[in-house]
Amino acid sequence: MPKKVAPLTDTKINKSKPKDKPYKLSDGEGLYIEIFPNGSKLWRVKYILNSKEKRIALGDYPTISLAYARELKQQVKLQVKKGIDPVLNRKIEKERSVTNSFESIANEWYEINSARWAESTKDKIRLYLDKDILPFFKNREIEGIKRIELVSLVRKFEERKAFEPAKKTRLWLNQIFRFALAKGVVDVNPATDLDVVAIQAPKVKHMPSVNFDNLKELLEHVKQTPCSALSKAAIYLLTLTGLRPGELRMCKWGYIDTDNKSITIPADLTKTRKPHTVPLPNQALKILEEIKPVSFHYEYVFIGRDLKKPFSDMTINKCLKMAGYKDKQTGHGFRHLLSTELNSRGYNHDWIEKQLAHGDTDKIRGTYNHASYLDQRRVMMQEWADSIDFDFKVF
């Protein structure tokens, strides 16, 4: 007959002090707590299966309370009674959990779909996955995730007024769960109709931008900042070309044709998903020549701290903020300034729209209007650059 053991109490466990060697305090029926010299206390259950004595760890005390340890012990006993080895069963469940975790499914969805995304889109989705979405569902099986949890995640974006990322996250979550549904990992998609409970975003304001009369002063202030030469060069080139900040940031030296005085942005980087060639005025060519010693031996023109990658998408706006233009000018705002000024000077509307890579709002007209107007735009952008009357030297 087995020796009867007095059940443990929290008081007894808390009063137990570490010794030179590990020792055990038994609670009966195979459950005991092991106390180590460093003071940690670990629950274990001893069981016999197929005439062999085995042990399984339940976790540390007080994370696993005495009451919960007893519940887990009963689960172990029930598995053994059914002929299931608790240690082996845990290993199988862990492997299944990893395979069907939200993280593994989301990463698989990303890898399969990323081939058809623009580089800037891939970078954006990867950033939000790693920074916000995956940590929220860390170590979670996708099947167990409830709709209310998805709403809670999106609320975190909305609470910090990040309404556009919130909108994108609702879309990505729906796509991830649709992917999981197609794989047979989940039976329902809890990410549908999340827009129904979305907090209404405030009306979109146009990107702030100075007018032409204040442009030279802005550029002078940028020149006086302690920003890097590449940051200043990027702002100058946005002014001279009208490129989107994301297109310029991802620009590689291989996209630049100095003989033809142009930059061609490949289709996977443009918003229209079509290659976009931009003429370079003489001032822009001089800027690129000036920064060659900084980054020409790397792939990207505007390298970041990781020399194999471009600088952050916040770099340009951060420099403008340092110049004193917070809420007055953004990198994207240079496009608004260029459009306003060129239209006011009477340049052909189609030339301007082509320079800014805007899609034609008239779909029928856009179907037939494939003209690039490169020669006309080359003259227009050189006249624009000359009119600024600014010394665009970076150093």
Which residues are tagged catalytic? 244, 271, 332, 335, 358, 368
Question: Helix, strand or coil for residue 87?
Answer: helix
**CB 185 within 8 Å of CB 146:** no
**CB 102 within 8 Å of CB 173:** no
Residue with tokens 């304001």: 205
Q: Which amino acid is at 84?
A: I
Q: What is the DSSP letter of 313?
A: T
CA 317 to chain centre: 18
Residues in the chain: 395
Task: Using alpha carbons, list the distances in angstroms from residue 203 to 200, 206, 223, 336.
Answer: 9, 10, 34, 18
Q: Among 58, 63, 65, 9, which residue's Cα sits nearest to residue 30?
A: 58
Helix extents (H) in the chain: 10-15, 66-81, 86-99, 102-113, 119-128, 134-136, 147-159, 163-183, 215-224, 229-241, 245-249, 282-295, 315-322, 333-344, 349-355, 363-368, 374-388
β 256-257/262-265 pair status: antiparallel
Question: Helix, strand or coil for residue 184?
Answer: coil
Rounded to the nearest 5°, which phi and psi values hold at 200? -65, 125
Q: Among 249, 6, 308, which residue's Cα sits nearest to residue 118?
A: 249
Distance CA 267, CA 300 (A): 17
Task: Using alpha carbons, list the distances in angstroms from residue 58 to 45, 75, 85, 101.
Answer: 7, 11, 14, 22
